Structure 1
Amino acid sequence: MPYDELERLGLDAATEAAVRKSFPRNTGMLVVTEVLPGSTSESVLQPGDILVRLNGRYVTQFEPLEDVLDGSVGKQVEVELERGGKAVSAKLPVGDLHAITPSAYAEFGDAVVNAMSYQQARHFNVPTRGVYVANPGYVFGAAGIPRGAVIMTINGSRTDTLQDFETGIALLADGERAPVRYITIDDPNNSELRAVRMDRLWFPARHCDRDDASGLWDCKHLAAGAQPKPVPVSSTAFPHFKEPLLNALAPSIAMVTFDMPYSVSGITERNYHGTGLIVDAQRGLVVVDRNTVPVAVGDVTVTFAGTVQVPGRVLYIHPQHNFAVVAYDPALIGTTPVKSARLTPRELFAGEPLWVVGLGGDSQMHARRTEIASIDPLELPLSRTMRFRDSNVETAQLVNPPLEFDGVLADKAGNVLGTWSSFAYESGRELSQDTRGVPIDLVADMLERVRNERPLHSLEAELGVLSLATAREIGLPQRWAQRLAQHAPTRRQALTVVRLVGGSAAAQRLQQGDLLLAIDGSVVTRFREVEKAAADKEHVQVTVWRGQSELTLEVATAELPGADVDRLVEWAGATLQAPHRAMSVQRGIAPVGVYVGYFSYGSPATRYGLYPGRRIVEVDGVATPDLDTFLKTVTGRPDRSSVRLKTITWNNAPEVITLKLDKHYWPAYELTHTMEGGWVRRALE
């Protein structure tokens, strides 16, 4: 600091003269600008103190100061200062900077934590203790604990060191929740409290120490933790509302939260919540939209009356529409008086009055009286990431619709006529969502198939709607126009083939632009008629108008599974899976190759450009049509060896990349869906 400012701080004139004489070329002296809280210097030094002598010698620059301190580690130095014109002297211990520099880290639940460093403590202006969140990952991210937070306690126990933290999580079983208190750099003087759900399933847990000789971080597995405890049985009662409709529906509505450990199937968001409709209280079945439970990979929680919270599991993902079924154990909610919703499948009409009932983000019941403005085909843009996108469905738009909650459409007696569902879609590079009403007929059909394990077949064609006048313009003859008009007098329309699912039988027999007239001899003019005609048949006779002629074609239907993802592989930091159906539906791509769902930052996949959305079709010239072939080809290769990968994008543009393996930091493992509905993780090498 220059002498003129030092004089304002109170530097004694005699001291200044002596220092100027000793260092005639220097223009100032060293001043204390900050003192780390909790350090041994905190009670001695103050910001604004002017350093005069160190061990009896004048010190005015950083280099000689550092020389003295580096040579005095573990010892004491004598410090002479001036504070407001008064002399201050003290003996202070010199600590080892390496001792407060992290030399170990822990990773669990996709999170990475290390001991608080001296540099970070300076940023926070807090003592050098606590555990720093370098990456919140799945565990902390789901709890809302951000990157850069400092964990102060877990389960009420202090976490001054990394060892303290590891001791705390060692007591937690998989799925067990524990309160975590932390601070952030934005507000270091106030702490926050969150409940964290321990994960020992989705990700490996390791402790890694720096080895300066090898240049690596040596890693070992953390303790396996305690065995999961039985979930306690809890009961609650539903509140009484002034509106009878809310009293009728409250026992059939629950809040569902869903956390995704991995980005898969083009979906990168990790945390969801929404209103669930209890459709089978005896079996514990709840229906949600796929903007609440988008895939089968994740952790489900079901909350009743905002009070009782129990774990759930994904039972069924509708392959065609925006619905999923989750299940919970009814025994866990004790005497909570839940009821199965009264589903009333029937057609909805424009102008029909009804109620929208659901739960907001605060788990409070909401209701709004409204009416149906129109019934229209749902038209969503194609997804850039090839995430699920609903089609072939008519939805209800409402007058003055509620946008702050989702839920159900009901009549005044509490009969459920439809769902008020949130649809996620991509608009350019932005993720958007729209809320529409969906007739409950789709839910009733799905529920019946889940209960009876009855498969669902599909024609595998995305359809659009044309007016009969437009259909006539492209060649539809008068006789067919009359038949279609007679079939649906108030809906004078025809269906046309817009897209065909890649690799399906329909893609071989039908063509885009075909006018779909009948299935098995029955005239069809609406999406639901087509789905019902194909749902339980392995083959159908499809009558189309193509060009200037009528054709009747036999088309094999596709049996669609209710589990969109049943296996994941983590390899070289990339999340790999079989090509998902949405890719084939939207882009007409045959499900061949290994789909890259996502990558971990800093991994070989990131470094060498194995980007999400691509498919690996060859490894070192060997075709890899599926995951099994891929794993057979890459397993057993030595660490740091290179592989040559041929990848293709959604528009079949090829690219060849080379990737160097790093098995030390990015070991390969897989997750598989079990027959019991759970998931199992195992190492691949």
Structure 2
Amino acid sequence: MAADKDPSVRDLNTMAILKYYPLSVLVTIDRHEWYAHPQIYSRNDNTGFWTAKPAIPPDSMLISSRLHSDITQTNSIPVSATRNYVPGELEHDNCNGKWEDDCIKKQSIDHKALEGSCTDDVKNVSKKRHRGDSTCSEGSILSNGNIDEYKEPVLRQTPSSENNDLSVKMAVSATNASLAEQVIQPALVMFEVHVPPSCMLDGVHSQHFFGTGVIIYHSEIIGLAVVDRNTVAVSVSDVILSFAAFPLEIPGEVVFLHPLHNYAIVAYDPSGLGAGATNVQAATLLPEPALRRGESVHLVGLSRSLQITSRKSTVTNPCAALNIASADCPRYRAINMEVIELDTDFGSTFSGVLTDGQGRVQALWSSFSAQLKYGCNSLEDHQFVRGIPIYAISLVLDKILSGAAGPSLLINGMKRPMPLVRILEVELYPTLLSKARSFGLSDIWIAALAKKDPIRKQVLRVKGCWAGSNAEIHLEQGDMILAINKVPVTCFRDIENACQELDRLNDSDGKLKITIFRQGQEIELLVGTDVRDGNGSTCMVNWCGSVIQDPHSAVRALGFLPEEGHGVYLARWCHGSPVHRYGLYALQWIVEVNGKLTPDLETFLNVVEGLEHGEFVRVKTVHLNGKPRVLTLKQDLHYWPTWELKFDPDTATWRRRMIKSLNSTT
């Protein structure tokens, strides 16, 4: 009895109980090859090395189904999805595992804090999720169809009696909701995203993300949902979709990442919904007319427990220019965007959609990621929410459904051409016309720009050009963009429309005739544009325990690439690896290996493929701040083999290829 009164003894007893408490999990083995085959390691006492052998025979049906099957299990979830989640605010978890990017300690570039209209709200990030009172409204649930121009037969299956009872219960519970809630609920979906720790590309800052998206297309053969890129940051992701209209989880595949705007499109297989397909519908999009200041909208989204939450808000600014500074470790950030601001919302972690009173989607209420600087050197991650007008998303959706003139991608067993996006790879920011007058802009141009847009009363200026872009050799920092093809330009959408017009002209050379104001003079230039796909980074190499890739857009947006050639970019490194032991950290370009230039990933692979186990390698690097460095490391192919991970659009899978190991070379 005395032992029971001892707190330490009680703690030990509790720990013993927890230690042997059984835990059941579901493990998904899918068709991607982000992870190597299971292996069993045993120590050789004679040599001191740990040797590996396959844990599953090579001819096992388990491996063959993972490598060659195009059918993904739709009723299983990852191990991490079995955690006990507490319903509440939607937060983007930040769990980086053992991989390190060494961003804060090794970064010496001075970054600016978040500027513009978002600054005040981001500084006062609220961690509490507020719930608004739902407005009661009588009336029947409206049917949500697809875009009229591309109607396909919607999947109709006869539900069982249990599913009928479930639908009735859902309809009864929806009677206390507003009309907008009832209409949009069948289109809302919760995203659970897991990034494999071995291939965290493009500076992604976390392994786990959650967020609310909306279904924008649903038919018998394909379903498309859209969500912000702070939820789906990279295409190398395990995506699980949970539907508000039916209790079911199915996997999704990332099919489009917009290079500038903060949204991603994810495809899913409607046949995986089974009888629940009758409950899931696509939202009705309302791209026009654009929202105006003072208009009322319904902010609707999902909690972590898939409970629909909404409130009525008022638009305070329908065209707030977004200005997010580069993070210490370059990662995706939205640029050249105008977003929607509301008077009240549910805090900085709540995402969803903005609808009118009839439940038609006017904007995607999206989460944005930024870093704010506190004190001398401290940078902290913050997120905030703003609205993205739905017209930008509807344009890309139209191209996907109508058959865009782009590379084909296998989606649900059918190849579909995906759209290409023509952009001007220049970061812009608005300046008031009153400030532009102080810089010497003539009264004629002031009057022309004010007449073109009496609301904004601004002119766009160049903040910087992306390194390696076609615009880099023509535009300079501080240039004012006055007109394109003699038509005054006042906002980001004007430039996007001009780029889209080039695509409509078959004989176009891809150049814009731009009138700029530079150092007191008006100059006309022919500036080239760039065409990008929505795949993101599709190839990486793991060499000596580091993740090597081509410089992604966030790195190029810094405006600098090494003179020796673009080089390959070292994105991350692993503890205990050769690059860790010898000090080859992240945020650097590798421009030479043993005196041989490595301007791109293919050349880098050809060079390192000839390196042997235990060989000392001389590496020349250039840091993001431009400082060169030369170091030597010893290659270890026993524990740290060289392998490549590449996306195959013909099979829509990521394939792993062993480049060189201690015992084999393929």
TM range (shorter): 0.7 to 0.9
Answering whether residue 73 of structure 2 is matched by residue 231 of structure 1, we say yes
Structure 2 distance, partners of 1:592, 1:185, is 56
Q: 1:268 offset after TM fit, Å?
A: 3.0
Describe the superposition over 1:120-155 as per-residue Cα deviations: whole angstroms up to 9, x where unpaired.
xx9x969xxxxxxxxxxxxxxxxxxxxxxxxxxxxx
- Alignment equivalent of 2:234, drawn from 273, 282, 295: 295
- Alignment equivalent of 1:549, drawn from 500, 510, 521: 521
Structure 1 residues 178-217: aligned runs within 5 Å: 188=19, 193-198=24-29, 201-204=33-36, 205-217=38-50
Q: Which residue of 1 aligns with 2:393?
A: 443
Describe the superposition over 1:642-682 as per-residue Cα deviations: whole angstroms up to 9, x where unpaired.
11111111121111121111111111111111113211111
Structure 1 distance, partners of 2:298, 2:74, is 36
Q: 1:194 offset after TM fit, Å?
A: 4.3
Structure 2 distance, partners of 1:252, 1:639, is 54
Q: Which residue of 1 aligns with 2:624?
A: 650
Ranked by relative contact order (alpha carbons within 8 Å, sequence separation 6 or more), the top structure is 2
Answering whether residue 224 of structure 2 is matched by residue 285 of structure 1, we say yes
Q: Which has a greater percent of strand?
A: 1
Q: 1:611 offset after TM fit, Å?
A: 1.3
Q: 1:398 offset after TM fit, Å?
A: 1.1
Distance 1:186 1:476, change over 3 A: farther
Describe the superposition over 1:591-643 as per-residue Cα deviations: whole angstroms up to 9, x where unpaired.
81111121121111211122122111100111100111111111132211111
Q: Which residue of 1 aligns with 2:139?
A: none
Q: Which residue of 1 aligns with 2:432?
A: 467
Q: Which residue of 2 aligns with 1:626?
A: 600
Whether the 8 Å contact between 1:640 and 1:661 is mirrored in structure 2 is yes
Structure 2 distance, partners of 1:364, 1:608, is 51
Structure 1 distance, partners of 2:329, 2:533, is 22
Structure 2 distance, partners of 1:325, 1:610, is 36
- 3-state DSSP class of the match of 2:272? helix
Unaligned runs of 5+ in 2: 76-156, 374-378, 405-418, 503-509, 661-666
Q: Which residue of 1 aligns with 2:103?
A: none
Aligned-residue identity in percent: 34
Whether the 8 Å contact between 1:350 and 1:373 is mirrored in structure 2 is yes
Q: Considering only CA atoms, is the larger Rg found in Structure 1 or Structure 2?
A: 1
Q: Which residue of 2 aligns with 1:420?
A: 365
Distance 1:230 1:507, change over 3 A: closer
Q: Give the letter for the 1:411 counterpart.
A: D
Answering whether residue 301 of structure 2 is matched by residue 351 of structure 1, we say no
Structure 2 distance, partners of 1:350, 1:610, is 52
Whether the 8 Å contact between 1:360 and 1:406 is mirrored in structure 2 is no
Moved more, 344-353 or 434-443: 344-353
Whether the 8 Å contact between 1:302 and 1:312 is mirrored in structure 2 is yes
Distance 1:217 1:279, change over 3 A: same
Q: 1:198 offset after TM fit, Å?
A: 4.0
Q: Which residue of 2 aligns with 1:275?
A: 212
Distance 1:457 1:193, change over 3 A: same
Distance 1:185 1:202, change over 3 A: farther
Q: Give the letter for the 2:249 counterpart.
A: Q
Q: 1:189 offset after TM fit, Å?
A: 6.7
- Alignment equivalent of 2:475, drawn from 503, 510, 527: 510
- Alignment equivalent of 2:350, drawn from 392, 405, 410: 405
Q: Give the letter for the 2:305 counterpart.
A: D
Distance 1:230 1:559, change over 3 A: closer
Answering whether residue 659 of structure 2 is matched by residue 659 of structure 1, we say no
Whether the 8 Å contact between 1:210 and 1:217 is mirrored in structure 2 is yes
Structure 2 distance, partners of 1:357, 1:185, is 46
- 3-state DSSP class of the match of 1:445? helix
Structure 2 distance, partners of 1:586, 1:522, is 30
Q: 1:187 offset after TM fit, Å?
A: 5.1
Structure 1 residues 247-646: aligned runs within 5 Å: 247-261=182-196, 262-282=199-219, 283-305=222-244, 307-335=247-275, 336=277, 337-346=279-288, 347-375=290-318, 376-403=320-347, 404-428=349-373, 429-451=379-401, 452-453=403-404, 454-537=419-502, 538-589=510-561, 592-646=566-620
Whether the 8 Å contact between 2:573 and 2:579 is mirrored in structure 1 is yes
TM-score for both structures, normalised by structure 2? 0.73
Distance 1:468 1:680, change over 3 A: same
Moved more, 578-587 or 321-330: 578-587
Whether the 8 Å contact between 2:74 and 2:251 is mirrored in structure 1 is no
Q: Give the letter for the 2:400 counterpart.
A: V
Structure 2 distance, partners of 1:499, 1:639, is 43
Q: Give the letter for the 2:242 counterpart.
A: T
RMSD (Å), alpha carbons: 2.5
Whether the 8 Å contact between 1:259 and 1:298 is mirrored in structure 2 is yes
- 3-state DSSP class of the match of 1:565? coil
Whether the 8 Å contact between 1:455 and 1:536 is mirrored in structure 2 is no
Q: Which residue of 2 aligns with 1:168?
A: none
Moved more, 451-460 or 601-610: 451-460
- 3-state DSSP class of the match of 1:498? strand
Distance 1:363 1:194, change over 3 A: farther
Distance 1:594 1:513, change over 3 A: same
Structure 2 distance, partners of 1:421, 1:588, is 30
Shift >3 Å, 4+ stretches: 183-200, 228-238, 586-591
Q: 1:193 offset after TM fit, Å?
A: 4.7
Q: Which residue of 1 aligns with 2:54?
A: 221
Q: 1:425 offset after TM fit, Å?
A: 1.6
Structure 2 distance, partners of 1:308, 1:632, is 46
Q: Give the letter for the 2:250 counterpart.
A: V
Structure 2 distance, partners of 1:494, 1:184, is 65
**How many residues are treated as equivalent by the alignment?**
510
- 3-state DSSP class of the match of 1:402? coil
Structure 2 distance, partners of 1:561, 1:664, is 37
Distance 1:255 1:220, change over 3 A: same
Structure 1 distance, partners of 2:387, 2:351, is 10
Q: Give the letter for the 1:626 counterpart.
A: D
- 3-state DSSP class of the match of 1:450? helix
Q: 1:213 offset after TM fit, Å?
A: 1.2
Q: Give the letter for the 1:272 counterpart.
A: F
Distance 1:184 1:424, change over 3 A: farther
Distance 1:480 1:185, change over 3 A: farther
Structure 2 distance, partners of 1:426, 1:187, is 39
Q: 1:563 offset after TM fit, Å?
A: 1.1
Structure 1 distance, partners of 2:558, 2:212, is 28
Structure 1 distance, partners of 2:620, 2:329, is 20
- 3-state DSSP class of the match of 1:506? coil
Q: 1:188 offset after TM fit, Å?
A: 3.7
Distance 1:194 1:397, change over 3 A: farther
Q: 1:535 offset after TM fit, Å?
A: 3.2
Distance 1:466 1:681, change over 3 A: same
Describe the superposition over 1:275-297 as per-residue Cα deviations: whole angstroms up to 9, x where unpaired.
12111102211111101100111
Structure 1 distance, partners of 2:50, 2:180, is 61
Distance 1:589 1:277, change over 3 A: farther
